[in-house]
Structure 1
Amino acid sequence: MGSKRLEYLAQPKTLLISDVEPGNRYELVCTTEAGLVRYRMGDVVTCTRFLCRSDDLVPLPIDQEEIPRIPLFSIAYRIGSLLDAFGEKTSEQHLMDALQRTSQQWKEQGISLDVYDFTSYPKLDVFPPHYVLFLELIEEQNSKQEYKINEKNLQLLQTMVDSEVEQQLCQTNFNYNNVRKGSKLAPLVCILVRNGTFSTFLADILVTDRVSPTQIKPHRLLKNENHIQFFYANQINISSS
Structure 2
Amino acid sequence: MGDVINCTRFLCRADDLVALPEEPVEIPRIPLISLAYRVGTLLDIYGEKTNEQHVMNALRQTICQWREQGIPIDFCEFASYPRLDVFPARYVIFLELIEDQGHKLDTQQIQILKNTINTEVEEQLCKANQNYKDNRSSTKLGPLDSILVRNGTFSTFLRKFLWTDRASPLQIKPQRRLRNEEHIRFFYDNQIDISSF
Partner of 1:114: 74
Measure the CA separation in 1 of the matches of 2:40 and 2:92. 17
> What is the aligned counterpart of 1:229 among 167, 182, 185?
185
1:80 Cα shift? 1.4
How far 1:105 moved relative to its partner? 0.9
Where 1:39 maps in the other structure, the secondary structure is: coil
Contact 1:77 1:93 in 2 (8 A): no
Which piece of structure 1 moves more, 197-206 or 94-103? 197-206
Query: Secondary structure of 2:112's partner?
Result: helix
Between structure 1 and structure 2, the one with the greater Rg is: 1
Aligned equivalents of 2:138 and 2:42: distance in 1? 20
TM-score where L is the length of structure 2: 0.78
SS in 2 for 1:155: helix
> d(CA) in 1 for partners of 2:162 and 2:105?
29
Q: Which has the higher contact order (CA 8 A, sep 6+)?
A: 2
Secondary structure in 1 matching 2:98 = strand
Deviation of 1:111 (Å):
1.2
Letter in 1 for 2:141: L
CA root-mean-square deviation: 2.8
CA contact (8 A) 2:71 2:105 kept: no
Task: Give the aligned partner of residue 171 of structure 2.
Answer: 215
Residue 100 of structure 1 aligns with which residue? 60
AA in 1 matched with 2:167: V
Partner of 2:154: 198
TM-score, with structure 1 as normaliser: 0.65
Structure-2 separation of matches of 1:134 and 1:185? 18
**Runs of 5+ unmatched residues, structure 2:** 1-7, 18-33
Change (3 A) 1:155 1:190: same
CA distance, structure 2, for counterparts of residue 155 and residue 136 of structure 1: 15
Pair 1:38 & 2:11 matched: yes
Asked if structure 2 preserves the Cα contact closer than 8 Å seen for 1:137 and 1:192, the reply is yes
Normalized per residue, the structure richer in helix is 2
Which residues of structure 1 form unaligned runs of 5+? 1-12, 15-36, 45-72
Q: Secondary structure at the match of 1:184?
A: coil
The answer for the alignment partner of 1:160 in structure 2 is: 116
* Identity percentage of aligned residues: 57
One-letter code of the match for 2:88?
P
Cα offset, 1:204, TM superposition: 1.5
One-letter amino acid of the counterpart of residue 103, structure 1: I
1:215 & 1:206 partners in 2: Cα distance? Answer: 10
Which secondary structure does the structure 1 equivalent of 2:187 belong to?
helix
